[in-house]
Amino acid sequence: MVSTTRPHVGVLALQGDVREHVAVLRSLEVEVSLVRRPEELAAVDGLVIPGGESSVIDKLSRAFGMREPIIAARKSGMPMYGTCAGLILLADDIVDGIEGQQTFGGLDVVVRRNAFGSQVDSFETELIVPAFDDQTVHAVFIRAPLVEQVGERAEVVASLDDGRVVAVRQGALLGTSFHPEVTGETRFHELFLQAVRAAA
């Protein structure tokens, strides 16, 4: 672990919108590294798991020998933030995963992949987020998952107007169905960084 004054955050760089997360984190003046190997994971204070294809990231994490180190880091208290596919990978359970698909777990939730449909069903909306003093967030959903069940250990961070849950956290873990990194929204990354600084 490195200095608590300037957190060193990793972005899991196996597949997905890695560059967008790196850009947001650098705008928040933290040290950022791409993480593809266990030794790179060991050098950071927190990990962002980007959007992409959850089943592909799952397979690549095993191929690169990253699955067990990520689970071990998560269990040891490393803060992690997952967007879209990253949320799926941090969920304890997934609905409609492909055969053999696994997650890193940690969030006491059940998530449905592609809950809103295909790419053409992507949409944008405004969310009210109590953690941000009920300010609104412009949220972009791209082939997004949905949190279908929230267990006792997890808390809801944001929901759609109809009550469907799209952001959750549990201890040092945070997950969003949508992509703050593509709209220039920084507050979810800042929430994640609060956990990183608290854990460092």
Which residues have a catalytic role annotated? 84, 179, 181
Report how far apart, in Å, the C-alpha atoms of 200 and of each of 19, 46, 118 are. Answer: 24, 9, 39
Q: Transcribe 53-80 into DSSP letters.
A: -HHHHHHHHHHTT-HHHHHHHHHTT--E
Pairwise CA distance, residues 5 & 70, whole Å: 24
Contact 60, 149 (CB under 8 A): no
Find out whether 174 and 157 touch, Cβ atoms under 8 Å. yes
Using alpha carbons only, give the angle 96, 110, 42 rounded to the nearest 5 degrees: 100
Residue closest to 54 by CA, chosen among 142, 151, 149, 159:
142
* DSSP-derived secondary structure letter, 97: P
How are beta strands 8-12 and 46-49 bridged, if at all?
parallel
Spatial CA neighbour of 185 closest among 7, 78, 15, 28: 28
Helix axes 187-199, 18-27, angle to 10 degrees: 70
